[in-house]
Amino acid sequence: PDAVAAAAAAGIRKEALACCLQVVAALESWARPIKEAALRAAEAEPGPAGNVRATSSSLPFMERDGSHSSLNSLAAAAAPNKSPAKAGSSGAAPSEAERLAAAKSTKDQLSKGISLFNSKGPFKGLDWLMSQGLLDSSPAAVSAFLRAQADQLDKAQLGELLGHHEDFAVAVMHAWIDGEPSMAGQAIDQSLRRLLGGFRLPGEAQKIDRIMEKFAERYCKDNPGRFSSADAAYVLSFAIIMLNTDAHNPSAERRLAKADFVAMNQQQGEEGGMVPVLPVGQLEDIFDRVVRDEILVRGEAANKDFASSRTSTRNRLAAAMGWTSLLQPFRALAGGSSSGRSGRDSTNQAQRRYLQEMAEREVVRAAASGNVWCCTSH
């Protein structure tokens, strides 16, 4: 019912705008003889110095400078390579009705491109917008367009584009992160929270990897000396994503402990041993903030309609990061018939806990040694 009502309302708006355009065209046709007569009279009247005087103030029906700035700016902003209105065959300036029709056409094409982006995929939408001359093909222009239209774009599709492996998508992602406000003086989890508020992180490990690598580079550029290298910031950024997924995923059977999070974020020290990428106190503060407040896309926290999609996203992220595969052996131990589960003795439960703890320790050990991915399927 809501979709039908929305479609009906859109049809009514379209018909109403068409009627308005016809009324404007009729008014211009009626006013044209008066405007031409006023123009001839103004040209014939001499000015104070004997020159012909013709000012916009003496022509009540003539356009004043800036009277159509909103329409022109709409068309220019949406179509930098496309003129807002086509002049007539005589080269005369377009009429008011033509300006309105051009602005409406631009808006309709823009809406279609955004709809394709959201429903058919980001590349379909961008290709359409570029083919219509509404969008320049440079990564910087695409990034600026995406940021300007972010409220209308599907956040999951935007995340898929920014994490895609094609060179153009990678360049757009770099332009997007470079266009973020300054990260100077911020804790890394706060900067990451602000970045991920603009799009939904994709559910594939390689896509997450590309985004985190560029984020770490930008963060270190804005905060020189905070980390020993961009690799250390990258490891911590990835660990924050893993912690956010683990701490707020209802499917997780066991949560990552604070000590394990600190142990994950180790790097090779100057003397050969493993040292934390940040002081332990700062790592513990990051852990507390992420566990207390989930990192979410802006606007989703208060929207109950996104509850199921958030759960699905967490599960995909958990699978991408290896948590799902890691838990498969434990779920197998817990499976079986209800009678089997009720008859399971304490020995089996102790064995299950031991296997889970051993696997989690192995993940922490592998992460500390530089092997970020460690699960039963990798």
What residues are annotated to the active site? 204
Interhelix angle 188-196/230-247, nearest 10 degrees:
60
Q: Which segments within the chain are labelled E, that is strand?
A: 266-268, 274-276
- Residue 325's alpha-carbon distances to 12, 57, 260, 318, in angstroms, are 52, 76, 19, 9
- Can you tell me the distance from the alpha carbon of 112 to that of 129, in angstroms, rounded to the nearest whole number? 8
Q: Which residues, 6+ apart, have CB-to-CB distance to 82 below 8 Å? A: 75, 106, 132, 133, 134
Q: Which residues, 6+ apart, have CB-to-CB distance to 122 below 8 Å? A: 157, 158, 160, 161, 164
At 225, the amino acid letter reads: G
Tokens of 178: 């470079």
Phi, psi (rounded to 5 degrees) for 5:
-65, -40
How many CB atoms sit inside 10 A of residue 4's CB? 8
- Can you tell me the distance from the alpha carbon of 54 to that of 49, in angstroms, rounded to the nearest whole number? 13
Q: Which residues, 6+ apart, have CB-to-CB distance to 282 below 8 Å? A: 187
How many CB atoms sit inside 10 A of residue 144's CB? 16
Tokens of 61: 């029906």
- Can you tell me the distance from the alpha carbon of 98 to that of 341, in angstroms, rounded to the nearest whole number? 75
Q: Give the ranges where 82-138 is alpha helix by DSSP (H).
A: 96-120, 122-131
